[in-house]
Amino acid sequence: MTKKVILIADDEPQLRLLVRTTLEDEDYDIYEAEDGQQVLEVAAQISPDLFLLDNMMPILDGIAVCKALRANPKFCDRPIIMLTAKFQQRDIEMGKAAGVSYYLTKPFSPLELLTLIEEILT
Amino acid sequence: MFEQLLRFWFRLPIRSKGTVVIALPVLCLAIAIGISILLNRRVELAEQEVQHTQEVRLCSEQILRLLIDAETGVRGYLLTGDAEFLSPYYSAKEELLDLVDGLEALSQENPSQLPRLQAISEQVDRRLASLQSNIALLQSSNGSLTLSADGEKLETLIRGKSAMDALRNNLREFIDVEETRLAKRQQTLDQERALSRAALWLAGGVGIVGGLGANYLYTISIVRRIHGLQRNALLVADGEPLSEPILGEDEINRLDQALYATADQISQKQTWLQTANLQIAEAARKEKALLDNSLDVICSIDGEGRFVEVSPASFKVWGYLPSELIGRFYTEFVVPDDVEKTQAIAAEIVAGKPISGFENCYIRKDGSRVDIIWSASWSATEQLMFCVARNHTERKEVERMKNEFVSTVSHELRTPLTSLRGFSEILLRKSCSPEKQRQYLTIIQSESKRLTHLINDFLDLQRIESGRQNYDFAPLDLVPLLHETVALFAGANELHLFRVEVADFLPEVKADGDRIRQVLSNLVSNAIKYSPEGGEVVISAVQQEALVQVSITDQGIGIAPEAMTHLFTKFYRVDNANTRKIGGTGLGLALVKEIIEAHNGQVWVESELGRGSTFFVTLPQAVQVPKTLVNSHYPSATIDILLVEDDTAFTELLREQFGHTNLHIVSTAFAEQALELIQQHLPRLIFLDILLAGEMDGWDFLITLKGNRQLASIPVVVITITEPNTRGLVFNGAEYLPKTVAPELLKQAIQHHLPHLAGKVLLIVDDDPNFRQQVIDSLKTGADVQFVEAANGRQALECIRHQLPDLLILDLLMPQVDGFEVLRQLRSDRKTLTLPVLVMTGAELTLAEKAYLKRGLATLVSKQSVGMEDLIQIVEQTLGVVGRRE
């Protein structure tokens, strides 16, 4: 069984580090992106099994990245977890419409994230 | 007497007056005719009498002639016996008796002649009898005369002759008497005729006088008064006040009284109408002011969707003047996407359902879009839709910014929290190497710092904005603070190069050190953040007159011009790819601005996109350093007149008018820039137009200016095309001049606000002659100023009595009469009540003394703190303080 590939996108390095640390004991290939543009570039190369996107990112925000991924037949059914500080109903609806699979509100518990990821990928 | 008569006459009714006027000449004429008839009658009588006398005379003469004829005939008969000679005798005999009877009849009215007539009658009878006897004598002799008888005949004849003579004499006498009477009567007749003629003239004269009198009465009582009546009637018609009332108690007078009553009524009604008109005009004015000043567009639209009336706010909201909109369909201005829903809602309104809160989007004249929120209702009577359109863009923008702020704050708060929670959980749950542990704990520490910082910023801003921030102002040396700040950032930064540039001598500023440190670190931190490629960050501080200006320059990404105006707005963050990467709450610069303004300083930015930015901060110096003559820029650095006006023609006019004077005129088309200039240069007079080039209009400017306690006292003259409205009048400091104002009025306004020394008389009262000379020297700057000196209060009061100066420069401590007493005496005299007084004293004054001077309307200046070179300015300002002597 090949390793599942996860792409983490956040402009805050310490958050990327947090997610990486959370998942380091599991058997995942983890890639990082600093902004939305990078997500699309990296994704084209590595074809991740799961996207972990921050909503507020430079250049392209999480919603825009979501839309772009869903528009691509290659990624149209890949799970996307949105890590967001936005918790308003409106934002969530917008996210759902853009194709977000799961929402995780900051600050999240690493355990919670881990559980969710395992649930998705098994 | 005459007056009484006249009064009585005026009291008569017109009919009686008419009767009198007609009767008077008729009566005169009648009297004249009567007199004339009477006199004529008398003339006739006199004529009859004359004729009578002539008849008497004729009769008498005929009697005589007949007798003579009879005598001659009888004589012939006697001589010839021929009976033919007797025919005269017979005819005479017949006639004579009639004649004598006739004569008697004629003389009946004259009894004096009757005896004479009696004698004549008898003599005639006797003569006839004698002649008869003669004839009888002849006939008895058969008709032949004989000689014997001749003697008898002769005797008879002789007797006859004497009788005849006697008769003739008698007749002569009789006739003489009649002649005399005739002469008399002729005379009487002539007199009567003369009298009659005179009477006729008199009658004519009386008639004319009567006519004239009647005419006079007619004129004064009817014609003139009717003219008066006519005049009053015309005056009533013209609405003019009536001339004096017409005397009398007749119909004319009553008519006049009626005219007066009418005029009274008219004037009452006019007054009422005027009041009503004023009320209507006032109401209309208020309505207009309301319409003109409304920030919302108030408009009416007809059933077909065309603008009928539009309030001036349309220019601000849509960029169109009302005249450009009226008559056009509103659908032309609605963005195509919104037309359908707008028409649907309009149909509902026309159907009678008022709406409120309908939103659509309009296209402004410049092509930009503007969100509008509508309230509208349909008036069935006027067949018009009345609408209020509010610019919703800003509200929407604010809403958007608020949402964004919430998101940002949420993001900014939750991001470090996520790290805190996440890493602490990992540390708790997992066994990590000490290095890892340290790494995670470092992250936790820095993220908690970040969180603290954010919360502090936010709370600071809240506190400052709510006015609860207490500042601890003290003299502060900026230099160590600048170095300190740089050191703080330079230590943790390898990308940037830091440089501090400070003037050799930098005065201390009046500031709260902690707050200024906050400002500096915010600005330096920004400079670092927004120059991600590195580069030099220069921090410099220089003295600018009474201010110290600090600038922080970076070589970063710069700021787009459209972002500059919002830069200091709370929550605002420049929104682009670069800045997204750069964290921040949008609070830093807002905080800087609040803090600096609380210090009476200013903050602004100059920037070029891609080249970097420079933020400037000014802070007031701690103590007023006495200026030396060298670095005083008066008058060029002082702005006399600041012109806030986008109309260059007007600016040119003002410059042309006052270019030759020493007035330093500065103009700007932007209220924002004007406010900066005002902070820096404190102009003495501001001319303000309402329509300006920038974001702020004249009203915004005025509100800002008058809201600043330090600047509120600067006089503002609003110069505008449109009439000033209630909004402008709220501000006492603002006067109004129409834009079409004559240069003369402009000059007056300037002279009123900027009294000039030239031509003024200054009285300098000080016991120190050196000081007096010093003052004179410093004020004698080419201007034609007349100085009067006094060494003590008594001299000063004498001088003032002798010649009232334009300004008094007064020392307080002087021998004999001191300055307080001088002021007291001046202010108790009506003539010197408003004389501007500038007290220059070296003495330390108690609060009570200062209050006394303030009550006495004196401007107080300390000799120590004021340099002589500032004196001109102070004196000119003082000239304008107390009401000037006209």
Task: Convert the pLDDT of each residue in B478-498 to its tens digit.
Answer: 888 888 888 888 877 778 888
Count: domains in chain B: 6
How far is Cα B443 from Cα B452, in angstroms, rounded to an integer? Answer: 14
| Radius of gyration, CA atoms only, chain A | 13
Residue B440's Cβ-side half-sphere holds a number of Cα atoms within 13 Å equal to: 25
Nearest to B566 by CA among B455, B693, B401, B708: B401
What's the pLDDT at B588?
Answer: 83
Q: Is there a contact between A86 and B407 if contact means CB atoms under 8 Å apart?
A: yes
Residues of A in contact with B423 (CB under 8 A): 18, 21
Confirm whether B486 is domain-assigned. Answer: yes
Please, are residues B717 and B735 in contact by the beta-carbon 8 Å criterion? yes
Residue A21 to residue B440, Cβ atoms within 8 A: yes
Closest CA to A63 of A96, A24, A90: A96
Q: Does residue B829 sit in helix, strand or coil?
A: coil
Q: With a cut of 80, say whether residue B649 has pLDDT above it.
A: no
| Secondary structure letter of residue B353 according to DSSP | -
Q: What is the pLDDT of residue B307?
A: 93
Does some domain include residue B240?
no
CATH (domain of A100): 3.40.50.2300
Contacts of B91 (CB under 8 A, 6+ apart): B66
Is there a single domain that holds both residue B189 and residue B71?
yes
Give the range among B13-17, B365-369, B576-580 with minimum mean pLDDT: B576-580
In a domain, B242, yes or no: no
| Res B570: pLDDT | 65
Q: Are residues B782 and B712 in the same domain?
A: no
Q: Is residue B277 part of a domain?
A: no
ipTM of the complex: 0.90
Is the predicted pLDDT of residue B616 greater than 90, yes or no? yes
Q: Do B316 and B301 fall within a single domain? A: yes
* Residue B315 Cα, gap to closest chain A Cα (Å): 36
Q: Quick one: B73 and B179 in the same domain?
A: yes
Verify that B540 and B671 share a domain, yes or no.
no
State how far residue B434 is from chain A, nearest Cα, in angstroms. 15
Specify whether B384 is located in the same domain as B402.
Answer: no
- For the cut 90, the answer to whether the pLDDT of residue B550 exceeds it is yes
Q: Is residue B788 within 8 Å of residue B761, measured between CB atoms?
A: yes
* Residue B553 confidence (pLDDT): 92
User: Which residues of chain A lie closer than 8 angstroms to B419, CB-CB?
Assistant: 12, 14-15, 18, 107
Query: Across residues B529-556, what is the average pLDDT?
Result: 88
B85 and B73 Cβ atoms separated by less than 8 Å: yes
CATH number of residue B63's parent domain: 1.20.120
- Nearest residue in B to A108, CA atom: B418
* Closest listed residue to residue B587, CA positions, set B462, B458, B467: B458
**Across B823-844, average pLDDT:** 81
Q: Is B279 domain-assigned? A: no
- Judged against a pLDDT cut of 50, whether residue B185 lies above it is answered with yes
When CB atoms are compared, the residue of B410, B429, B447 closest to A14 is B447
Of the candidates A10, A11, A8, A18, which has an alpha carbon nearest to the alpha carbon of residue A108?
A18
pLDDT at position A31 is: 92
Has residue B633 got a pLDDT over 50?
Answer: no
Name the closest residue on chain A to residue B437, using Cα atoms.
A21
Task: Report if residue B271 sits inside a domain.
Answer: no
Same domain, B379 and B436: no
- Measured CA to CA, the distance from residue B595 to residue B518 in angstroms comes to 9
Residue B382: domain span = 294-391
Per residue in B258-287, pLDDT (tens digit) is 888 888 888 888 889 889 988 998 888 888
Note whether A14 contacts B419, CB cutoff 8 Å: yes
> Within an 8 Å CB–CB cutoff, is residue B266 touching chain A?
no
Instruction: For residue B722, tell me if it sits in a domain.
Output: yes
Say if the Cβ atoms of B414 and A22 lie within 8 Å: no
Q: How many domains does chain A have?
A: 1
Q: Give the domain range for residue A11.
A: 4-121
Q: Are B378 and B449 in a shared domain?
A: no
Query: Which chain B residues touch A25 with a CB distance below 8 Å?
Result: 430
Residue B454 sits in the same domain as residue B546: no
DSSP-H helix ranges across B308-352:
313-318, 322-325, 336-350
Q: At a CB cut-off of 8 Å and minimum separation 6, what does B98 contact? A: none
Give the residues across from B299 on adjacent strands. Answer: B310, B387
Distance CA A26, CA A28 (A): 6
| Residue B886 burial (10 A CB sphere; 0-12, 13-18, 19+) | exposed
pLDDT given for residue B618 in this prediction: 92
As a 3-state breakdown, chain A gives helix, strand, coil percent values, each rounded to 5, of 45, 20, 35
Last residue of a domain, one of B332, B358, B391: B391
B732: CATH: 3.40.50.2300
Q: Which residues of A touch B438 (CB under 8 A)?
A: none
- Residues B650, B710, single domain; the answer is yes
- Kindly report, residue by residue over B274-333, the tens digit of the pLDDT: 899 889 988 888 888 887 778 888 999 998 899 999 988 888 888 898 899 999 999 999
Cβ separation of B415 and A12 shorter than 8 Å? yes
B48 and B186 in a single domain? The answer is yes
- The full length of chain A comes to 122
Find residues 419-448 of chain B whose CB sits inside 8 Å of chain A: 419-423, 425-426, 429-430, 436, 440, 443, 447
| Peptide bond preceding B561 in cis form (omega within 30 of 0) | no
Partner residue facing B419 (CB), from A15, A35, A105 = A15
pLDDT in tens, B667-701: 887 888 888 888 877 787 888 887 777 778 787 88
Lowest mean pLDDT among B43-52, B662-671, B786-795: B662-671
Alpha-carbon span A70 to A77, nearest angstrom: 7
Give the closest residue to B884 by CA, choosing from B844, B836, B838, B847.
B836
- Across the interface, whether the CB atoms of A86 and B410 are under 8 A apart is answered yes
Both B460 and B375 in one domain: the answer is: no
% of residues, chain B, pLDDT over 90? 7
DSSP strands (E only) in A1-122 = 4-9, 28-33, 50-54, 80-84, 102-105
Q: Where residue B598 falls among pLDDT bands split at 50, 70, 90?
A: confident
Tell me, yes or no, whether B425 lies in a domain.
yes
Q: What is the mean pLDDT of chain B?
A: 80
